[in-house]
Amino acid sequence: DVKVTQSSRYLVKRTGEKVFLECVQDMDHENMFWYRQDPGLGLRLIYFSYDVKMKEKGDIPEGYSVSREKKERFSLILESASTNQTSMYLCASSLGGGRTEAFFGQGTRLTVV
Amino acid sequence: AQTVTQSQPEMSVQEAETVTLSCTYDTSESDYYLFWYKQPPSRQMILVIRQEAYKQQNATENRFSVNFQKAAKSFSLKISDSQLGDAAMYFCAYRRHQAGTALIFGKGTTLSVSS
């Protein structure tokens, strides 16, 4: 079974902290994604990566950065956490082609206080 | 830019009945893929069904089927013989044909199932 693992299910951080959300996949997938899920807004793409060290901005990249130094790991970084970044964060991975499904982690519910 | 619209924030159905969830999308491309994902209270997103735009035949997976109308850019999900375990949020998603592209999601429909 494909496994996408997010490092934390729940996280509480203080305003201004630098926050790292980690995601690891074990199926040698080329693509990895970070989405943010908010009630009434669905899933919005923050960043995605189609290869090691490659990244593309999604719809809402402001306040976030990413790192992909190894194929299996994709990190989302909140440079200076703010309360409006309180949300559910979902990581996903997929093979290269458009037909292939994306596999998701279980999500990290981040609260910034 | 491509967009996906789910016009029903909430739907309800009784056990054993049939329910249809709506989805429309906007794209100028002719080759693409459409998906329905299910997110139960556990938060784990699960693929329900997939449709290739070049295929005229509607996809089916057991009790789940789609009505794909390419000209109308419509992609509805029909759940037959609804079960309590079908209660979840359902997301419609679009993906371009090219490799290295991301899924674009709608805002979701929360489905409740009553006994």
Cα–Cα distances (Å) from B76 to A1, B14, B79, in that order, read: 28, 19, 10
CA distance B58 to A87: 35
Tell me the pLDDT tens digit for each residue of B94-104: 998 887 789 99
pLDDT of A2 > 90? The answer is no
pLDDT of A64 > 90? The answer is yes
Q: Which of A87, A108, A103 lies closest to A33 in space, CA to CA?
A: A103
pLDDT of A69 > 70? The answer is yes
Tell me the pLDDT tens digit for each residue of A9-49: 999 999 999 999 999 999 999 999 999 999 999 999 999 99
**Is B100 in the A-facing interface, judged by CB distances under 8 Å?**
yes
User: What pLDDT, on a 0 to 100 scale, did the predictor assign at position B38?
Assistant: 98
pLDDT of B8 > 90? The answer is yes
Nearest-CA residue of chain A relative to B43? A106
Q: Distance (Å) from the C-alpha of residue B17 to the closest C-alpha of chain A?
A: 26
- The SS3 assignment for B85 reads helix
Neighbours of B70 (CB within 10 A): 15
Confidence of residue B15 (pLDDT cuts 50, 70, 90): very high
What's the rounded mean pLDDT across residues B63-67? Answer: 97
Tell me the pLDDT tens digit for each residue of B33-51: 999 999 999 899 999 999 9
User: What pLDDT, on a 0 to 100 scale, did the predictor assign at position A98?
Assistant: 67
CA distance B1 to B24: 14
CA distance A38 to A40: 6
Q: Distance (Å) from the C-alpha of residue A113 to the closest C-alpha of chain B?
A: 23
Q: Which of A22, A20, A59, A56 lies closest to A37 in space, CA to CA?
A: A59
pLDDT of B2 > 90? The answer is no
User: What pLDDT, on a 0 to 100 scale, did the predictor assign at position A24?
Assistant: 98
Mean pLDDT for all residues in chain B: 95
Q: Tokens 């993906």, residue?
A: B95
CA distance A41 to B42: 19
Tell me the pLDDT tens digit for each residue of A76-112: 999 999 999 999 999 999 987 767 889 999 999 999 9
Nearest-CA residue of chain A relative to B110? A40
CA distance B81 to B78: 10
CA distance A77 to B29: 33
- Substitution target in A8, A52, A59, A101 with the highest count of B β-carbons within 10 Å is A101
Residues 28-87 of B with CB under 8 A from A: 32-33, 35, 42-45, 47, 50, 52
